[in-house]
């Protein structure tokens, strides 16, 4: 029977690199979600794509445990969660070219100008993220925050290895089996606009 220890894994130590083959027992494609929150997106996408391995990174301990507990209750065997800082983990603890899709939905917008430096999506993070994507791999980003979206567009445009692809076509592999995230549901109910961007690493 699936337990919390199967799903909620300790983050890698200093100098350690995640071995996805050991994690899932085979060479399946790997998708990651950064800031997985309560795990609604991961739960549903992982159930729709049982042959893909999913790693969710979430900084908030309680929320991360909540998401892991959901996977256990639903018996979802192809998701692993780690409580870690995604910026650090992507830069230091992943092998090159291992991720097919990196999902980033509603990253914390840090709306005050003096806090903008805390935003996840900065040039250094995007460069590290592209390093871990397989050729042809994609990053899907969604936010309800117009100002942060503008910054995201600029950062992404400054990374020469990325080309923009439509967010919602099946060939982009982003919409297939896509389900809403918890924040997306909440914001759509409030009538907020949602901004989406998908980019592909040049094959």
31 binds ligand SAM (CB under 6 A): no
129 binds ligand SAM (CB under 6 A): no
Rounded to 5 degrees, what are φ and ψ at 186? -60, -50
183 binds ligand SAM (CB under 6 A): yes
- How far apart CA 78 and CA 88 sit, in angstroms, is 23
87 binds ligand SAM (CB under 6 A): yes
37 binds ligand SAM (CB under 6 A): yes
Cite the beta strand spans of the chain per DSSP E.
8-9, 30-34, 53-58, 79-83, 99-105, 133-143, 162-165, 195-201
Nearer to ligand SAM, 31 or 58 (CB): 58
Rounded to 5 degrees, what are φ and ψ at 53? -95, 140
State CA 102 to chain mean position distance: 5
Nearer to ligand SAM, 111 or 158 (CB): 111
Q: Which of 26, 108, 144, 168 is catalytic?
A: 108
The only residue of 132, 181, 198, 199 in contact with ligand SAM, by rule CB under 6 A: 181
Structure tokens at 31: 């998708």
57 binds ligand SAM (CB under 6 A): yes
- How far apart CA 84 and CA 14 sit, in angstroms, is 12
58 binds ligand SAM (CB under 6 A): yes
Q: Are 40 and 115 in contact (CB under 8 A)?
A: no
Q: How far is the CB of 95 from ligand SAM (least distance, A)?
A: 19
Catalytic site includes residue 108: yes
The only residue of 29, 35, 53, 173 in contact with ligand SAM, by rule CB under 6 A: 35
Q: How far, in Å, are 27, 40, 95, 179 from residue 53 at the CA level?
A: 9, 16, 15, 17
Of 7-15, 21-29, 57-65, 155-163, which part binds ligand SAM (CB under 6 A)?
57-65
What residue ranges bind ligand SAM (CB under 6 A)? 34-35, 37, 57-60, 63, 85-87, 105-106, 108, 120, 181-184
Provide the annotated active-site residues.
108
């Amino acid at each position: 029977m699936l337990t919390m220890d199967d799903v909620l894994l300790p983050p890698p130590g200093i100098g350690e690199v995640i071995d996805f083959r050991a994690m899932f027992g085979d060479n399946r494609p790997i998708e990651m979600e950064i800031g997985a929150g309560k795990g609604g997106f991961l739960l549903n996408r992982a159930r729709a794509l049982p042959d893909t391995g999913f790693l969710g990174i979430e900084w908030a301990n309680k929320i991360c445990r909540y998401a892991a507990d959901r996977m256990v209750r639903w018996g979802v065997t192809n998701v692993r969660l780690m409580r870690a800082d995604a910026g650090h983990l992507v830069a230091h603890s992943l092998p090159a070219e291992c991720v097919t899709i990196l999902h980033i939905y509603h990253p914390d917008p840090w709306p005050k100008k003096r806090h903008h430096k805390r935003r996840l999506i900065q040039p250094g993070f995007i460069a590290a993220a592209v390093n871990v994507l397989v050729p042809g791999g994609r990053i899907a980003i969604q936010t309800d925050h117009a100002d942060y979206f503008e910054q995201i567009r600029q950062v992404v445009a400054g990374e020469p290895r990325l080309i923009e692809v439509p967010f919602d076509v099946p060939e982009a592999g982003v919409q297939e089996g896509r389900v809403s995230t918890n924040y997306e549901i909440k914001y759509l109910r409030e009538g907020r606009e949602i901004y989406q961007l998908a980019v592909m690493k040049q094959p």
